[in-house]
Amino acid sequence: MPKHLLLEGTDLETLLSQVRAEHGPEASIVSADRVRSGGFAGFFARQRYELTVSVPDEAPAAPAPAKSAPQNEAMPQDESAQDEAATQDPVAALLARTEERERRLTAPAPKQETPAEAPAFTATPAATTTMDQAFADVLAAQRRPEHPTSPTPAGVQAFQPRTVEPDRPLAAPLRALGMPDHLVRRATGTDTYRAVVRALAAMPEAPAAPDRPGDVLVIVGPARTALPIAEATARALSLGPAQILLAARSTAGTGVHHTRRISGPAEAVRRARKLHRADVAHVVVVDACAEDGNGEWARAVTDALGATAVWALVDASRKIADTARFLGALGPVHGLAVTALDATGDPASVLGLGFPVARLDDRPSSPHTWAALLCDRLEGQA
């Protein structure tokens, strides 16, 4: 059985020469890493190389190491000689090709005149990145199985640059609750509440309900569920029942007096003149939903009223695709009022619609109210 050895050093040539000298041509490179540490802004980083080498248990006697060339002596650049060496010794080929690539990458560019104030130092992190890629390409191309006729041994992985990902222990549970990936990626750390608040801080913020004299807030949704939200919003704005109107076919069963009913776009135009001249704001519920397919009618009423802001009522238990189509028919929407949160297992899926959320059932929406809701669900999953 072959065995694997880990070699470390600050000079690639020295490491490869050591492999060739100590283990002979039967040694093969399993993996290689160029590791950088320290430095500032991509410069002055210290680097070292880590090679994992596979050697047979009974490796043939290694040839005597050749006398290394003096450090100041120029290396041969004859590509035909490098190709000949590559056919005899893969390690020599690796060394030769690496030297040739780095020689080309680090060769000085033709001298150009620069302004007097330009700094003499012109190295960039991009050049370092290119050299790293050349190093990785050559090593990946030269790495081979221990035996030409056998597959790569189990457990040996191809060369890949090391990556470090933030700790996201809540990623899977939050995805199960419907949270979109772009928010899940922000939920880092082990403190559940803080992680969720951090993620939800990236949500667009819904504008506050308009409260100036003559303002008109329109809430589009089924009357039976939209009216309680309109009443709660009116109380928060210090408005009374007289400032709540309903655009619907009928007010039966709603508790809204028939004098506060708007029958359609034509009457909405007549009402709008009075509403915008009033010394208080008004809230108008437009009775419409995806099931009735009356989104275009709702938009016509909203446009006729000259709404200051439009909120759309969203049932969290409905399919997101159906909700998105309904919202598309309404025209500009400034915020969502989300209901039926307790009736669904993925309440955060409405965040994928891309609209700001103004209310969660009977309370205003914020990252903290969302976090309280989702943390309760996460505790229930534990």
What phi and psi values does residue 44 have, to the nearest 5 degrees? 60, 20
CA angle 72, 73, 75 (to 5 degrees): 120
What pLDDT score was predicted for residue 292?
A: 86
Residue 147 lies in a domain: no
Cα gap 21→61, rounded to integer Å: 10
The boundaries of the domain holding residue 329 are 207-364
Domain boundary among 95, 114, 142: 142
Cα gap 193→199, rounded to integer Å: 10
Q: Any idea which of 98-102, 234-238, 301-305 has the lowest mean pLDDT?
A: 98-102
Tens digit of each residue's pLDDT (9 = 90 or more) over 326-371: 999 999 999 999 999 999 999 999 999 999 999 998 889 988 999 9
Average pLDDT over residues 168-196: 91
214 and 277 Cβ atoms separated by less than 8 Å = yes
Task: Give Cα separations from 295 to 200, 274, 318, 320, 325 (angstroms).
Answer: 29, 25, 16, 16, 9
Instruction: Identify whether residues 233 and 333 lie together within a single domain.
Output: yes
Task: Give the model's confidence band at 21: pLDDT under 50 very low, under 70 low, under 90 confident, else very high.
Answer: confident
Instruction: Identify whether residues 223 and 357 lie together within a single domain.
Output: yes
Selection from 34-38, 65-69, 205-209, 300-304 with the highest mean pLDDT: 300-304
pLDDT higher than threshold 70 for residue 94: no
188 and 166 Cβ atoms separated by less than 8 Å = yes
Cα gap 34→48, rounded to integer Å: 6
Instruction: Identify whether residues 11 and 127 lie together within a single domain.
Output: yes
Residues 6 or more apart in contact with residue 232 via CB below 8 angstroms = 359, 362
Rounded percentage of the chain residues whose pLDDT exceeds 70? 67
Domain boundary among 118, 142, 166: 142
Residues 6 or more apart in contact with residue 302 via CB below 8 angstroms = 218, 220, 286, 310, 330, 331
Residue 179 lies in a domain: no
Residue 285 lies in a domain: yes
Domain tally, the chain: 2
Instruction: Identify whether residues 50 and 136 lie together within a single domain.
Output: yes
Task: Give the model's confidence band at 37: pLDDT under 50 very low, under 70 low, under 90 confident, else very high.
Answer: low
7 and 18 Cβ atoms separated by less than 8 Å = yes
Quote the tokens at residue 226: 């939209």
Instruction: Identify whether residues 121 and 254 lie together within a single domain.
Output: no
Burial class (CB in 10 A: 0-12, 13-18, 19+), 311: buried
What pLDDT score was predicted for residue 237?
A: 95
Domain boundary among 89, 113, 142: 142
Residue 371 lies in a domain: no
Instruction: Identify whether residues 226 and 105 lie together within a single domain.
Output: no
Instruction: Identify whether residues 220 and 130 lie together within a single domain.
Output: no
91 and 27 Cβ atoms separated by less than 8 Å = yes
The CATH number covering residue 301 comes to: 3.40.50.300
Instruction: Identify whether residues 111 and 245 lie together within a single domain.
Output: no
Instruction: Identify whether residues 133 and 254 lie together within a single domain.
Output: no
Residue 229 lies in a domain: yes
174 and 242 Cβ atoms separated by less than 8 Å = no
State the chain's maximal CA–CA distance in angstroms: 105
295 and 330 Cβ atoms separated by less than 8 Å = yes
Instruction: Identify whether residues 138 and 264 lie together within a single domain.
Output: no
Residue 165 lies in a domain: no
What pLDDT score was predicted for residue 54?
A: 77
Residue 136 lies in a domain: yes
15 and 27 Cβ atoms separated by less than 8 Å = no
Task: Give Cα separations from 84 to 22, 26, 88 (angstroms).
Answer: 22, 18, 7
Instruction: Identify whether residues 232 and 320 lie together within a single domain.
Output: yes
pLDDT higher than threshold 90 for residue 258: yes
Task: Give the model's confidence band at 73: pLDDT under 50 very low, under 70 low, under 90 confident, else very high.
Answer: very low
Cα gap 93→135, rounded to integer Å: 13
Residue 60 lies in a domain: yes
Between 17 and 241, the higher pLDDT residue: 241
